[in-house]
Amino acid sequence: MRKKPKTRPIRVTAETFRELQRLASTEEHRGRSRQVLLAMAVDLLTDRAAEKEKTWL
C-alpha cells in the first residue's frame, strides 16, 4: 500500500482567504475541479509573496 503524502496547511491572511473564496465562487469558475482552484490559489499566493519581496528590497 502506498503512503499518503504529507501535506502542510498554508497560512494566509483573512483578506487573501476572502479573495480566494470570491475567485472560486465566480460564475466562470463554478464547477471547476479542486485541483484547478488550488492552482489558482497558488498563483495568487506566489504573486502576493513576490509583491512582499519587492517592498523589502
- Residue 30 sits at φ, ψ, to 5 deg, of -65, 135
| Overall pTM > 0.85 | no
| Predicted confidence (pLDDT) per residue in 6-52, tens digit | 777 767 778 878 887 787 777 766 677 777 777 878 888 888 777 77
- DSSP helix, strand, coil percent of the chain (3-state; round to 5): 65, 0, 35
